[in-house]
Amino acid sequence: MSVTYFNEDVPFPKLKRRSTTNWIKETIRLEEKSIGDISFIFCSDDYLLDVNKKYLTHDYYTDIITFDYVEDSIISGDIFISIDRVKENAKLFSTSLENELNRVLVHGVLHLLGYKDKIKKDKTLMTFKENYYLNVLKVS
């Protein structure tokens, strides 16, 4: 049972791995689930576009793609994050790169926990949960 971090074709982002891992584990615990194996893979827009085309047959840029390997209440998956999109979104939403990266990290974990974001009601709940767990991170 682990949280691991990889980078593909981008420099590794500035990330406090130990505290981030503890925060991810706490998020899963607070949702009354157990941690399995979660991998975060940081990459470029082009790399993630290739993943999007190959595995999801989508031809557009995105900030995150989550592959869910959850079994029962054991939370596992691969979470691909475009650092290019995270940087752009940080500018767009007038927030720090660190805050936007944390938001995307927890967004992926929330997907593994079963939260959706395709319709407005689900997106509202997802944003609420993101904000809640971002505040948990600030407290810890």
Q: What element of type H or E holds 96?
A: none
Q: Look at domain 2-139 and name its CATH class.
A: alpha beta
Prediction pTM value? 0.94
Q: Which two tokens stand for residue 91?
A: 């500018």
- Residue in the block written with tokens 């936007």: 100
CB 72 within 8 A of CB 107: no
105 three-class SS: helix
Per-residue pLDDT of the chain (140 residues; tens, 9 = 90+): 899 999 999 999 989 999 999 999 999 999 999 999 999 999 999 999 999 999 999 999 999 999 999 999 999 999 999 999 999 999 999 999 999 999 999 999 999 999 999 999 999 999 999 999 999 887 65
